[in-house]
Amino acid sequence: MSVTLHDYLPSGNGYKVRLVLRALNQPFRLVEHDIVQGATRTPKFLARNPNGRIPLLELEDGTCISESHAICWYLAEAHASRLLPDELLARTRVMEWLCFEQYNLEPNVAVRRFQRHSLNKPPGMLGEAGEKWLRDGHAALAVVETRLEGREWLVGDEPTLADYCLYAYTHVADEGDFDLRRHYPRIVAWLERVAALPGHVPITWRPPG
């Protein structure tokens, strides 16, 4: 038996959990839900997660954990992984980046990408919201670019949850019209480092079986 991940393959939030499970070398069963068709809003899904969203990790005893970063944190703790540093201030720095991702990066970079890539809307149809996502998304990416000056990883000298969790939407930012190669050379180099880590899989990967 292994854990079950309720997910939607193009989701960066889901991909964070897939990346961390792979980094921890943990097998998992993937159950896909078509969020565009409202599959996470059914009574059956809402009984597992009243917030109606993937990713959702279902443990072997049926316990469910929602919120991508809570799931990743749980997995790193459960497997006593080095993805969470021992030292308090370093762990707090990881949490800082996870909060930043959820408040500044994901709501802009991921939301614009969802509209452009998953819903296939042209830029002109996004209106003022589309402009705001672009502006605020660039501001968030600039913070990451600055952080990476003279460093390989976001926290400390080794990859942590912060790198895995910020990688997920940053690596597909181009799908939301954020031109990484043009504006963010350090981010591009960091993305390549994350992609070279053991167990790495692309966002389109499904576990066997």
Ligand X SMILES: N[C@@H](CCC(=O)N[C@@H](CS)C(=O)NCC(=O)O)C(=O)O
Q: How far is the CB of 54 from ligand X (least distance, A)?
A: 4
Binding mask 124-163 for ligand X (x = CB under 6 A): ----------------------------------------
HSE-CB at 113 with a 13 A cutoff on CA atoms is: 22
User: Can you give the length of the chain in residues?
Assistant: 209
Candidates 6, 18, 53, 112; binder of ligand X (CB under 6 A) is 53
Q: How far is the CB of 105 from ligand X (least distance, A)?
A: 11
b/e burial code for range 173-207 (CB count within 10 A of at least 16 → b): bebbbbebeeebebbbebbeebeeeeeeeebeeee
Candidates 6, 57, 68, 190; binder of ligand X (CB under 6 A) is 68
Candidates 3, 19, 21, 35; binder of ligand X (CB under 6 A) is 35
52 binds ligand X (CB under 6 A): yes
DSSP assignment of 36-58 equals GGTGGGSHHHHHH-TT--S-EEE
Of 192, 95, 190, 93, residue with least CA distance to 150: 190
40 binds ligand X (CB under 6 A): yes
Candidates 13, 115, 160, 170; binder of ligand X (CB under 6 A) is 13
Helix-strand-coil split of the chain, %, nearest 5: 55, 10, 35
Q: How far is the CB of 47 from ligand X (least distance, A)?
A: 15
Q: How far apart are CA 121 and CA 132, in angstroms?
A: 16
41 binds ligand X (CB under 6 A): yes
The footprint of ligand X on this chain (CB under 6 A) covers a number of residues equal to 14
Evaluate the CA torsion angle 18, 22, 24, 27 in order and state its sign. positive
For ligand X, give the closer residue by CB, 152 or 174: 174
54 binds ligand X (CB under 6 A): yes
Q: How far is the CB of 122 from ligand X (least distance, A)?
A: 22
Of 145, 130, 119, 127, residue with least CA distance to 177: 130
The residue ranges that bind ligand X (CB under 6 A) are 8, 11, 13, 35, 40-41, 52-55, 67-69, 102
